[in-house]
Amino acid sequence: MKHLLPIIILLSFFYNCKNESKSEIKEDKELKELFALMQGSFNSEIQAQIDSSYYNIALHMYPIWEDKGNFLYVEQALNNRQNKPYRQRIYEVTRASDSTFSSAIYALNVDSLWIGKWKNPKAFDAISLNDIALKEGCEVILKRTKPNQFIGKTGDTTCVSTMRGASFARSEVEILEDKIISWDRGFDANGNYVWGAEKAGYIFNKID
């Protein structure tokens, strides 16, 4: 029995390592899936044609800093005014836990320098993480509900926003193979709605 004990311990070690290896492969695959679904050019043209309360908005999301992790440059603008975007951000997509993923949001120091640079993501090699600022509390936590579908949201009151008299912003997101549904809203200190789509989220269909 004494001779068998080291063998049992060794077999147990290899078994655990094998299971951990399988788990890591699974995690990498799911994270890669999410990151791929988020990439591309989108717009809400179809939704705007059906419901005039929605604008036709262009959304561009392209990978940058490929050697540093899963980073995306994100640009949003009215479709007919893409030279004047109203939102420019960098997202960092990571695994938050065994069952969740995080899309952290960073602001750029000088937005105007990066307008249209989604067409040339290599341009971002000129800057680093020191040149962007994390928007704390604004990360979107996502869960994979089935293949090619992730659903998530920010904390209810964690993302500070002062736009149009708001105190905080709240985002709900669904990411699919052919579209991204995003519902961004601002609320005042008493929880009253002050900006954003009233009925439901914007439906951004993938166009590339």
CATH for 100: 2.40.128.590
Among 39, 43, 42, smallest CA distance to 73 is for 39
pLDDT tens track, the chain, 208 positions: 555 444 444 445 444 544 444 444 455 899 999 999 999 999 999 999 999 999 999 999 999 999 999 999 999 999 999 999 999 999 999 999 999 999 999 999 999 999 999 999 999 999 999 999 999 999 999 999 999 999 999 999 999 999 999 999 999 999 999 999 999 999 999 999 999 999 999 999 999 8
Whole-number pLDDT of residue 23:
46
CA 16 to chain CA centroid, Å, is 33
Contacts of 165 (CB under 8 A, 6+ apart): 188, 194
Residue 21 is predicted with a pLDDT of: 46
Q: What is the pLDDT, as a whole number, of residue 16?
A: 53
pLDDT of residue 26: 52
Strands (E) across the chain are located at 40-43, 57-64, 71-78, 87-95, 100-108, 132-134, 140-146, 149-153, 159-160, 168-176, 179-187, 193-196, 202-206
For residues 165 and 171, is the Cβ–Cβ distance under 8 A?
no
Beta bridge partners of 150: 144, 175
The token duo for 31 is 């994270």
CA-based nearest residue to 124, from 54, 71, 79, 199? 71
Domain that holds residue 100: 4-206
Question: What confidence score (pLDDT) does residue 11 get?
Answer: 45
For residue 26, CA distances in Å to 4, 95, 148, 149 come to 33, 12, 14, 16
**Number of domains within the chain:** 1
* Integer Rg of the chain from CA: 21
Q: Strand, coil or helix: what is 32?
A: helix
pLDDT of 28: 80
